[in-house]
Amino acid sequence: MNKKTLENTVSKMMSEPKGLLAMDESSPTCAKRFASVNIEDSENNRRRYRELIVTTPNLNNYISGAILFDETFHQKMSTGEFFRDYLEKIGILPGIKVDTGAKDFANHPNEKITEGLDKLRERLGEYASHGAKFCKWRAVITIGESIPTNACILSNCNSLARYASLCQENNLVPIVEPEVLINGSHDISKCDEVTKASLENLFEQLDIHNVLMSGTILKPSMVISGDNNKSRADVSTVAEMTIKRLSDSCPNDLGGIAFLSGGQSDDEATSHLNMMNKHNKDLPWRVTFSYARAIQQSALNAWRGDDSNQSKAQEILSGRAKACSDASVGNLST
């Protein structure tokens, strides 16, 4: 592990006023997103869509790193250039999602365990040799009747720590993502309680596995009411409770924090981030975004697979990326 290399990558990823763009939907997830706007699911359409994203004018003013799926990492653009090389050329660090998905957790109905540790060392070596600078692993924690269980939290956090230490062995910055799902009718205090348990377990496991904190980025969900809760907490409450949770549960030497959007509307995802950054100027780490849907969805809706909609879709994408960037420094105009 080269501490300097890892810290240097972290500082590029966390540079102001930028954040991360998650465009690492697995092929089945991408198929779902395409189906919602009647786009045929094919490798060529996935390439066309991702090419539209990365060639959006001025994207590099707002985005410091892009998380790719394996197919895109090894794919060439219509120009014949690899996506990963094009991104590096325009100053956006290429990253790669390396987990192989959240699967049913044996003996634990309605819970998931993320897989992907088998042969991970070899896969990471290959990604690094092709220019990847960072990785992502997503664990899923579901709130429901008698869940999450300790077993689910512990097993997922243990896998995240094993993944993170293998990444650092290969000088790749690990993004550790313990996503507490927004789905449900729970209130914000329940979300806070589960987020606390998840973060505390995660940092304990990372510590046990000697993971370098300054070479690690946390990708958390916000502390927020369930999407079916009848009286959802307002923007200030979400911002305050999220910052309090992170301040209480994350070590000061953590490299940085970049939220997922997790099914929030575009406006919610930017307003919450803006409120956090507007009122908290002296946090020990940068607090930014690593959104997929809250950057991409409105552009995908406008594109619908039709080349004649490309510039409109790119304009929308650029607008979303700018709004997220403004929110990441507390400067979003409302």
Q: Which residues are catalytic?
A: 177, 219
Q: How far is the CB of 81 from ligand 13P (least distance, A)?
A: 24
CA 163 vs. chain centroid, Å, equals 16
When asked if residue 262 is in the footprint of ligand 13P (CB under 6 A), the reply is yes
* Residue corresponding to tokens 């969900």: 221
Give 7 or 71: the residue with its C-beta nearer to ligand 13P.
Answer: 71
How many residues touch ligand 13P under the rule CB under 6 A: the total is 10
Q: How far apart are CA 227 and CA 238, in angstroms?
A: 13
When asked if residue 39 is in the footprint of ligand 13P (CB under 6 A), the reply is no
Contact residue for ligand 13P among 6, 157, 161, 260 (CB under 6 A): 260
How many CA atoms lie within 13 Å of 139's alpha carbon, on the beta-carbon side? 29
Q: How far apart are CA 301 and CA 308, in angstroms?
A: 13
When asked if residue 182 is in the footprint of ligand 13P (CB under 6 A), the reply is no
When asked if residue 72 is in the footprint of ligand 13P (CB under 6 A), the reply is no
Give 24 or 326: the residue with its C-beta nearer to ligand 13P.
Answer: 24
x/- site string to ligand 13P, residues 215 to 254, per CB under 6 A?
----------------------------------------
Q: How far is the CB of 235 from ligand 13P (least distance, A)?
A: 18
When asked if residue 293 is in the footprint of ligand 13P (CB under 6 A), the reply is yes
Q: How far is the CB of 301 from ligand 13P (least distance, A)?
A: 14
Token code pair at residue 301: 């809706």
Instruction: Tell me which H or E stretch contains 125.
Output: helix 120-129
- Of the candidate spans 186-194, 223-231, 260-268, 323-331, the one that interacts with ligand 13P by CB under 6 A turns out to be 260-268
In this structure, are residues 93 and 136 in contact, taking their beta carbons and an 8 Å threshold?
no
CA dihedral 268→324→124→11, nearest 10 degrees, is -130
Strands 173-180 and 217-218 turn out to be parallel
- Of the candidate spans 122-130, 142-150, 259-267, 299-307, the one that interacts with ligand 13P by CB under 6 A turns out to be 259-267
When asked if residue 320 is in the footprint of ligand 13P (CB under 6 A), the reply is no
When asked if residue 181 is in the footprint of ligand 13P (CB under 6 A), the reply is no
Q: Of 247, 178, 252, 254, which Cα lies nearest the Cα of 219?
A: 178
When asked if residue 266 is in the footprint of ligand 13P (CB under 6 A), the reply is no
Contact residue for ligand 13P among 177, 266, 268, 326 (CB under 6 A): 177
Give 7 or 70: the residue with its C-beta nearer to ligand 13P.
Answer: 70
What is the footprint of ligand 13P within residues 95-154 (CB under 6 A)? 138
Q: How far apart are CA 249 and CA 113, in angstroms?
A: 22
- 3-state secondary structure at position 161: helix
Q: How far apart are CA 24 and CA 177, in angstroms?
A: 14
Q: How far apart are CA 111 and CA 127, in angstroms?
A: 30
Q: Of 56, 20, 62, 23, which Cα lies nearest the Cα of 325?
A: 62
Q: How far is the CB of 247 from ligand 13P (least distance, A)?
A: 23
Biggest alpha carbon distance in the chain? 53
When asked if residue 294 is in the footprint of ligand 13P (CB under 6 A), the reply is yes
Give 282 or 290: the residue with its C-beta nearer to ligand 13P.
Answer: 290
What is the footprint of ligand 13P within residues 14-33 (CB under 6 A)? 22
Q: How far apart are CA 252 and CA 83, in angstroms?
A: 34
Q: Which residues bind ligand 13P (CB under 6 A)?
A: 22, 138, 177, 260-262, 291-294
